[in-house]
Amino acid sequence: MEQLGIIKSNAEIRESARKQLVGRWGPAILAYFIITIIVGLPGTIPDVGFIISLLIAGPFALGQTIYSIKFKRGEQVFIENIFDGFKRFSTAFVLQFLISLFVFLWSLLLIIPGVIAYLGYSQAFYILNDNPGLTATEALNRSKEMMKGYRGKFFMLQLSFLGWGILCILTLGIGFLWLVPYMNISFANFYDNLKNAHGSF
């Protein structure tokens, strides 16, 4: 666990993720690949695809969060953990719906307010995972509070993967099998570092 008050650089966060993935790439690649396939599949279904996507987006977002944070923390993790979000279906569904709605509404003003809103809500599923008794609104509010002063840092962390993303496209998408786990474990490290540094949330 990180020491209280110590905020890591984004380079250190990515390095931590790489170390955690050593010897464990296979399970991580499989887990995130399954999530990508299942979440993307409804888009190929005419008429009802959008409704299905709307229903499963939240639970899978929570399931992915659960898998990522357990993986990062060195806990025992299984492929089936990606489905754990369905155990809290209603809260996960409402949380994803509210995030999508608020980001959309802020984006109507301009793109930048939408991005700022997204960054503010970015830790909500992690917070919900650590505090299962929270409502979706409470998780959102805690995320906004947690991200005060750190939206830019998280944005730069995400942006740091852009070059890797371009390279993955050049590999006809095969490289994303490695990039997606790397990104998700890095984001889990960002959350845990911020949480432990503040000693709250």
Q: What residues have CB less than 8 Å from 100, skipping those under 6 apart?
A: 57
Distances in Å between the alpha carbon of 73 and those of 77, 103, 123, 189?
A: 10, 30, 16, 9
Provide the H-helix boundaries in 111-175: 111-121, 124-130, 136-146, 151-159, 162-170
So what's the pLDDT on residue 2? 54
Cα gap 102→117, rounded to integer Å: 7
pLDDT reported for residue 69: 98
DSSP string, 29-44: HHHHHHHHHHHHGGGG
Which pLDDT value is given to residue 46?
82
- For the record, the structure tokens of 9 come out as 């650089």
What does the pLDDT read at residue 4? Answer: 60
This prediction's pTM? 0.93
pLDDT in tens, the chain (201 residues): 555 668 999 999 999 999 999 999 999 999 999 999 999 998 888 888 889 999 999 999 999 999 999 999 999 999 999 999 999 999 999 999 999 999 999 999 888 889 999 999 999 999 999 999 999 999 999 999 999 999 999 999 999 999 999 999 999 999 999 999 999 999 999 999 999 988 777
